[in-house]
Amino acid sequence: MKSFDIKTKIYFGDNALDRLADLPYKKALIITDPFVVKSGMLQMITYRLNDGYTEFDVFSDVVPDPPIEKISLGVKAMLDYDPDVVIAIGGGSAIDSAKSIREFATRASQKEVALIAVPTTSGTGSEVTSFAVISDKSKNMKYPLADYQLLPNMAIIDTDNMMTQPKGLTSASGIDV
């Protein structure tokens, strides 16, 4: 007999983002990239947080192959804001950034903070893995992080997120899968 358990609670399907209005958290740090903000996708998240009376701040300084410098800025933002939950919105880079930022910030503060992953692509599977990769561009190195503490507590996979992506990104994500 074979089985597996997964720590991450997964909500999926049409209107899965509505789960954000029912969160038990009162203060969220959203970690995402500039495209999600500029495209208006962020509003799909924030109006639901507003409906649930969850206060939020946004760290949108995520770039591909997250460099240590950006992770450090995110850790500072998280420690300054002191959220109950981190919500990662985007592809693998945004989710890996959020995992890394939360991990380093919680180690510094000794405060447990939940992590919710809201993928906008379907290639990396980062929303359900205990891994993240950060980069040190000065050394031309990538550092894998592996720890069960990196697993998101929740993943929300909503078809509306996938449908709003550029065609090229959707194609590349499909090839990743």
Q: Write a three-state SS string for 44-78.
A: HHHHHHHHCCCEEEEECCCCCCCEHHHHHHHHHHH
Distance CA 38, CA 123 (A): 22
Q: According to the model, what pLDDT value does residue 168 have?
A: 53
Helix axes 92-109, 68-81, angle to 10 degrees: 50
Q: According to the model, what pLDDT value does residue 173 have?
A: 47
Q: According to the model, what pLDDT value does residue 6 have?
A: 81
Query: Which residue numbers in the chain have pLDDT < 50?
Result: 169, 172-173, 175, 177
Q: According to the model, what pLDDT value does residue 1 have?
A: 81
| Averaged pLDDT score across all residues of the chain | 90
CA separation (Å) from 4 to 1, 52, 74, 86, 152? 11, 33, 33, 26, 17
The predicted-structure confidence for 93-140, as pLDDT tens digits, reads as follows: 999 999 999 999 999 999 999 999 999 986 678 999 999 999 999 999
Q: According to the model, what pLDDT value does residue 5 have?
A: 74
Q: According to the model, what pLDDT value does residue 164 have?
A: 56
